[in-house]
Amino acid sequence: MTVLIVEDDAVHRAFLRDVLVGTLPDCRLIEAADGVAGEALAREHESMNVVVDLQMPRRTGVEMAKTLWRERPATAIMFWSNYADEAYVRGVSRIVPEGAAYGYVLKSASEERLALALKSVFLEGQCVIDREIRSVQQKSADRSGSFTDVEYEILVDLALGLTDRLIAERRGISLRSVQNRLAQIYDKLGVYETEAGSDVFNLRMRAVTLAGLRKLLNRNSLEQAEAELAAWLAASPRASGGRR
């Protein structure tokens, strides 16, 4: 069995190596320090299992997993991450193909838990998701305090700095609808619940700040969204008024 390790932190990489040879003694290890290198290595080998960090320079673990699964949906992938940010959990759930085996464990988990998860995913083809992650996942799928996909997309557009008008254009709805969605978003994020008056904040900014503090948005998700936005802007030539 071949296992590809994709992890930028040298210390963690060494640790992973130790755990893997201890858990799966007859496995061959390949290592990469970021997503781009990882993808290249993955293409050179036929069938393999992957352990990948989510937060890496150049190319996120999520992005790498996405292209990897598109080419070979049967690949077993273990996500190994520092954080249980809702942004990551949402990102991973969105890309896992039908019936693929994958795992999601936190770096704070014990070595035993990691080893067990590795065996379950790579040998048994099961899905193993850490308790902490699981709870985030459920909270995120729960229909009450949480966000639909449309709302989330608009929240991202908001965080990127788009105007209402442009969000409407991009998502194919009217200006007023965007504003309605925004009102929902503000409400769900609790923008109004503040000790001091309520005319204190710039609502759209406050919403994004709260989303950030709540780990619904993080730098990685914004980076990716920024790239998608740039592509969309280039592809849809606007009548560009040009204020200045």
| Residue ranges binding a second copy (CB under 8 A) | 8-12, 15, 82, 107-108, 158-163, 166, 192, 195-209, 212-213, 215, 218-219, 222-223, 226, 230, 233-234, 238, 240-244
Q: How far is the CB of 191 from DNA (least distance, A)?
A: 8
Nearer to DNA, 104 or 147 (CB): 147
- Residue whose CB is less far from DNA, 40 or 150: 150
C-beta of 200: minimal distance to a second copy in Å?
A: 6
Q: Which stretch binds DNA (CB under 7 A): 19-27, 29-37, 99-107, 195-203?
A: 195-203
Choice from 44, 149, 199, 236 touching DNA (CB under 7 A): 199
Residue 59, class by beta-carbon neighbours within 10 Å (0-12 exposed, 13-18 middle, 19+ buried)? middle
Check: CB of residue 115 under 8 Å from CB of residue 22: yes
Task: Report the alpha-carbon distance of residue 180 to residue 201 in Å, rounded.
Answer: 18
Say which entry of DNA, a second copy, none residue 242 contacts (CB below 5 to 8 A, set by partner kind).
Answer: a second copy
- CA end-to-end span of the chain: 60
Shortest distance (Å) from residue 206 CB to DNA: 8
In the bound state with DNA, the residue whose beta carbon lies nearer, of 93 and 180, is: 180
Which of 124, 180, 231, 232 forms a contact with DNA (CB under 7 A)? 180
According to DSSP, residue 58 is labeled S
- Residue 50 near residue 3 (C-beta atoms within 8 A): yes
By CB under 7 A, name the one of 134, 176, 214, 219 that touches DNA. 176
Give DSSP secondary structure letters for 94-125.
HHPPTT--EEEEETTS-HHHHHHHHHHHHHH-
Binding partner of 2, given a second copy, DNA, none, CB within 5-8 angstroms per partner class: none
Q: Does 145 bind DNA (CB under 7 A)?
A: no
168, 181, 192, 208 from 176: Cα distances, Å: 8, 9, 20, 20
Consecutive H or E run containing 209: helix 203-213
Q: Does 188 bind DNA (CB under 7 A)?
A: no
Local structure of residue 146 (DSSP, 8 states) = S
Among residues 19, 203, 222, 225, which is the contact residue for DNA, using CB under 7 A?
A: 203
> Nearest approach, Cβ of 202 to a second copy (angstroms)?
5
Distance (Å, whole) CA 236 – CA 65: 28
Task: Kindly state the helix (H) or strand (E) to which residue 80 belongs, with its residue range.
Answer: strand 76-81
Nearer Cβ to DNA (66/204): 204
